[in-house]
Amino acid sequence: MKIQNFPLIFLTVVVCLPLVLTGVSCGSNQQDVDVDEPSPPATNTAPVTPSVMPSGTPREDAEQQKPSPAPQPPQVPAPELKPYDGVVEHLFFHEVIAYPELAFDGDSMQPGYDANMVTASEFSKMLESMHRNNFILVNMNDVWSEFTDTNGVTKMQKNTLMLPDGKKPLILSFDDICFYEYMRGDGFMEKLIIGRDGDIWASGYDPAGNDVLSQDFTVVTILDKFVREHPDFSLDGVKGCLALTGYEGILGYRTQADTGNNSDESRLNRMQEVARARPVVQRLQETGWYFATHSYGHIDLNNMTLDGIKADALRWLDEVGSLVGETKIFIYAYGARPDGGDVYDTGPVFRFYHDLGFRLFASVGFEPFSRIKSDISAVVCDRMHADGGTLRRERERYMKFYDAAEVFDPLRPAIYGTNW
């Protein structure tokens, strides 16, 4: 399935992943509010043998191969922790492009891939730069917490973080880590699996159609490896937040219910996919990953009725929440704030999600904005988007994280240009 007519983003529009048969955009809804109180390896090569399996190895055999143990970092004394009450930065990504030669092949998908995503090479270089710039990964759930005041009113509060001296807190979130059908054969890996070593690996195909098992071609496996090699980049082993839809399953497993096919075969297929996904979810949670809803159908909250929004949310809880467990984080698809804006107003859509247990609501913007709402126990915030559009057009704004000129993948199409 290929999605046609992706819009190309440059300055202020964030385009998100496509939804079923239409191109969709994850647009920035920046409010007038205060600011917060690697090119992939050549085919069939990888640093950890056999992270990329030999050509022609059947997939079921390849998944049984035992990768060599990852090297362990040297033991260092625990750093002294100091209180931190400053700004907490938040960057978000989509899944990385594993094979640019397939994604940037001049077809109708190329503009969207270029605008919305980074390559595996770029992501690796960004992590290296953020580490050099003294960022440290923190869990979004640890930044704010809920409490009851002396009047019995439940509210949210921003927590004092305890960080190593000189470190700056950073939340990373990743949208649509579902490996949608349109991505198959178009430069991306296809699913996350557990290797014989107990680590998360990615399964897919290289441009020649050979089976590949790798830890170099997805956001999860790249970040896992980086934290293993640079443990000071993470507070208590935290990795990032995976924002999931459900309409084509999660993590590469087709866990969605087929409402148009109620046959025994369809139900059995779904049960098998759910059974395969569960241990992957569990292993991710054991290794510093946590989850958020991105709505079931990647819906624009400002273009759907309240009844439709309720049905979408309940289906996400049934099909995805039942796999990933409770989450308090809602990451808006398209960055679309509900009820025409949730910063100062609290409308019926926002209250509905609040009643379901969500407390942290994230949109998209160009600054580390957050606000604790005064009329309801919730936090609204923005995330800065790390993608091809901002690499090409927002170099200065993102210099605190990385230099676009240094991480930019030369395999990107030249036709879109840069402003630096």
Check pLDDT > 70 for residue 379: yes
pLDDT of residue 62: 43
- Asked if residues 389 and 92 have their Cβ atoms less than 8 Å apart, the reply is no
What pLDDT digit, counting tens, does each position of 32-67 carry? 333 444 333 333 333 333 334 433 334 444 444 445
Pick the closest to residue 231 from 122, 98, 45, 77 (CA basis).
Answer: 77
Q: What residue segments make up the domains of the chain, in order of their start?
A: 59-416
Task: Tell me the mean pLDDT in the region 396-417.
Answer: 98
Task: Tell me the mean pLDDT in the region 269-288.
Answer: 97
pLDDT of residue 45: 36
CA–CA separation, 222 vs 118, rounded Å?
13
Predicted TM-score (pTM) of the model is: 0.84
Question: Is the link from the previous residue into 50 a cis peptide, with omega within 30 of 0?
Answer: yes
Pick the closest to residue 201 from 50, 323, 45, 321 (CA basis).
Answer: 50
CA–CA separation, 74 vs 79, rounded Å?
14
The b/e string for 159-186 (b: 16+ C-beta within 10 A; e otherwise) is eebebeeebbbbbbbbbbbbbbebbbeb
CA–CA separation, 321 vs 293, rounded Å?
8
Check pLDDT > 70 for residue 402: yes
Check pLDDT > 60 for residue 390: yes
CA–CA separation, 311 vs 147, rounded Å?
30
Alpha-carbon distances of 290 from 71, 225, 414, rounded to whole Å: 25, 17, 36
What pLDDT digit, counting tens, does each position of 4-26 carry? 343 333 333 343 444 333 333 44
CA–CA separation, 44 vs 118, rounded Å?
21
Bridge partners (DSSP) of residue 214 are: 202
pLDDT of residue 14: 40
Task: Tell me the mean pLDDT in the region 310-338.
Answer: 97
pLDDT of residue 71: 62
Q: Alpha-carbon Rg of the chain, whole angstroms?
A: 21
CA–CA separation, 91 vs 401, rounded Å?
9
Task: Tell me the mean pLDDT in the region 338-367.
Answer: 96
CA–CA separation, 165 vs 379, rounded Å?
27
The CATH class of 59-416 is: alpha beta
The pLDDT mean for the chain works out to 87
What pLDDT digit, counting tens, does each position of 90-115 carry? 999 999 999 999 999 999 999 999 99
Residue 202 has φ and ψ, to the nearest 5°, of -110, 140
pLDDT of residue 60: 43
pLDDT of residue 261: 86
The b/e string for 110-126 (b: 16+ C-beta within 10 A; e otherwise) is bbbbbbbbbbbbbbbbb
Q: How confident is the model at residue 68 (pLDDT cuts 50, 70, 90)?
A: low
CA–CA separation, 112 vs 41, rounded Å?
23
Q: Could you give the dihedral angle defined by the CA atoms of residues 361, 366, 370 and 374, in that order, rounded to the nearest 10 degrees? A: -80
Check pLDDT > 90 for residue 408: yes
Task: Tell me the mean pLDDT in the region 151-168.
Answer: 97
pLDDT of residue 196: 95
Counting every residue written for the chain, the total comes to: 420
Pick 212 or 2 by higher pLDDT.
212
